[in-house]
Amino acid sequence: MVILIKPSLRKLEKLVFQGAFDNKTILHYTGDMFGIGCKVSSYEAIERIQRLKGKQTKHGFILLVPSLQWFEKEGIYIPDRLIPLLKQYWPGNLTVIFKCDDERFAHIAVNGKVAFRVPDDELLRVFIDLLEEPIISTSVNFSSLPPESDLKRLTTYYADWFDYAILPGNKNYPYNSQPSTIVEYISSREEKNQSGFDELKCIREGSIPFYAVKKSFEKPTILFVCTANICRSPMAEKLFNHYASRINLPYSADSAGLLPGGQSISTASMQLLLERGILEARDHLSKQITPEMIQGSYLVLTMEERQRDFLRMQEPKQVRKIFTLNEYVGEAGDIADPFGADLDTYRKTLNIIDDRIQRLIEKLKDTNFMEKDKS
């Protein structure tokens, strides 16, 4: 086995050009777990992996691709209903199975469906991009036994399983890593669908709870964030839900703050929202943002750039979904905190947030999967 630890782009390009990975098995790290894989076009290597694992079927083979944009580039159709979910969780540890009639993947398809994932690890995504084709991936283990997660054991006891190892560097790989959560998309038009609605079926619950995935599938969450979650972010949350419910927009809003929670909404914020008939403002109780909230949200929109930057630093894998509310709708700067100011200042803040929310909703209408499914 040739072990490549954090290889340079130039080295990988040279090896790919030489065809070094053709029909070769590859030990790789997805960002969460180790896997064995090969180029999807390497039929011999796929058969070898099946023999090594004692696999009798193609079930369990996941196709790793470099990005969500890869599908459009390759002309592979993603159901509109899935796009918000994939934008939320990719790159990440969610595998999604859906229909794919591309002949390049027919040999690993099961009942016309393929399991896809964009892995967390940046090096692996770069490598797949250089190969100009996906790689298949499956856990390193004999069928029915737990996956191997110890790198030392992988490079000793399982050394003859691999031709190459591509690893992201000398790091402490977690021993208790969980596999990806696997879900199957079942459209309303499929024979096995009994509900008449598009559905997600849990095939395997891994590191991402299925209830969170299902919630995101049914109604993606927009999370608004400010400092204490008592003035600006609850205004944004309540306004968004108010407008979204009126037009049946299939998104819901929540809000949180950077500080510990447990406080009621500010008196001025409540008064102004009640004037608009938004009675839910009376029940608001502030809460502190958590990593789980960020992972479970389609978008995280802050009131200030420093809040955005702090969250991006805390959750680097979620950077793609964290913006200020202003920048997401094409405006610069922050939405200032009115805390401690007079009612007129609060009213001006509410009017600014109202404008941004309405523009946000117009932007989200372009991805209104419910309307697209009806057409």
Q: Which of 159, 167, 134 lies closest to 12, judged by CA? A: 167
The torsion angles phi and psi of 97, rounded to 5 degrees, stand at -100, 125
User: Among residues 129, 182, 357, which one has the least CA distance to residue 253?
Assistant: 357
Q: What share of residues in the chain are helix, strand, coil (percent, to 5)?
A: 40, 20, 40
Sheet with 252-257, edge to edge strand ranges:
252-257, 221-226, 299-302, 322-324
Instruction: Spot the catalytic one: 48, 81, 117, 232.
Output: 232
337 included as an active-site residue: yes
Instruction: Quote the Cα angle for 241-243-249, to 5°.
Output: 80
Structure tokens at 110: 């099961």
Question: Residue with structure tokens 């949200």?
Answer: 297
Residues whose CB falls within 8 Å of the CB of residue 243, separated by 6 or more in sequence, listed in order:
249, 357, 358, 361
At 369, the amino acid letter reads F
| Residue 353 Cα to chain centre, angstroms | 27
Placement of tokens 């008592």 in the chain: 230
State the residue for tokens 């406080």.
Answer: 263
Task: Tell me if 154 sits within 8 A of 27, measured CB to CB.
Answer: yes
Spatial distance between the Cα atoms of 251 and 338, rounded to a whole number of angstroms: 27
**3-state secondary structure at position 18:** coil
Annotation says 125 is catalytic: no
Whether residue 120 lies in the annotated active site: no
Query: Of 100, 226, 254, 308, which one is the catalytic site residue?
Result: 226
Rounded Cα distance, 280 and 7, in Å: 54
Q: Which of 337, 347, 359, 373 is catalytic?
A: 337
Q: Which residues of 70-79 are buried (b: 16+ CB within 10 A; e: fewer)?
A: bbeeeebebb
Cα dihedral sign, 59-60-63-67: positive
Query: What are the tokens at 114?
Result: 């393929």
Active site residues: 226, 232, 337
